[in-house]
Amino acid sequence: MTQEILKKLQQIQQQAKAVHDLMLSLQEHAPRGAEGNDSTGQVRVSIGADGLPKAIRVEKGWQDRLAPQAVAQAVMEAFTVAVANGMRAWSEAMDRTSWLSRVEALEAPTDKPISARGPAVSPPAVTSFSGSRAPQDVAEDVLRAADRFRRQATSETPVGVGVDNSGNVSITLSRSGLEQCTVQTVWALRQDNRALTSALETALHAARSELDAQASRPSPDAFNDLLGEALAVLQRTAATTGRVRR
């Protein structure tokens, strides 16, 4: 039983490292930003490397081609185009790498020993381990921690809502992107491009600040430390069992 648990934990650790390496590769090739315009060309949205809007601009004389009630939809459209442009650039960059085969390798099931799937990953060093905990107790803690991380990853995504100083423009952001934009029609009708741009930017920055304050991603450090302790305990137990049997 100890050997089986040890093997499973080593497989989890190796797959976690493979996923981590793949994500680093994806991030390395990700575009630093992209831009998009709505179909009228009167609204431009710039996004950053995180895929979130970082600037919104309304062109001078926007009223000649864009109805006041369509401003919010134009912002959403420009954001969608910016994301598409960024993804296109990212896809072209990733096509020059072996990312697809690496993803398929991660998804492919196998019953082969760990060494057959790539270099073995040494368990992290645990300087504070005293050896007093039973292997089964540590294994159960690892499973509980893994379940907590799974539930946190699938929990409701935090959002940030920002409103301009006049209260006529609001923007809602999540880590996935721009979720909603509202602009009061009567108010927008009286605004030139500079005032409208300023209101959109104010709401955007407020939404981003609230999102940053709310979004709390679980840190992997505690789980990695626990996994390291589990591997250390089980490896020591396995070695002791082997000596006793001999």
pLDDT band at 129 (very low <50, low <70, confident <90, very high): very low
**pLDDT band, very low/low/confident/very high, at 33 (cuts 50, 70, 90):** confident
Find where tokens 């250390």 sit.
Answer: 232
Q: What is the pLDDT of residue 119?
A: 41
pLDDT digits (tens, 9 = 90+) for 149-164: 555 555 567 899 999 9
In the chain, the domains with their CATH numbers are 2-112+130-245 (3.30.1310.10)
22 residue type, one letter? L
Picking from 11-25, 136-150, 166-180, 200-214, which range would have the lowest pLDDT averaged per residue? 136-150
**Threshold 0.95, pTM exceeds:** no
- How high is the pLDDT of residue 87? 83
Nearest residue to 233 via CA among 144, 145, 135:
135
Mean pLDDT value across residues 118-144: 50
Cα separation, 240 vs 87, in Å, equals: 53
Give the least confident one: 39-53, 135-149, 195-209, 232-246: 232-246
**Gyration radius of the chain over CA positions:** 25
Q: Kindly report the backbone phi and psi dihedral angles of residue 173, in degrees, each rounded to the nearest multiple of 5, phi listed first.
A: -120, 150
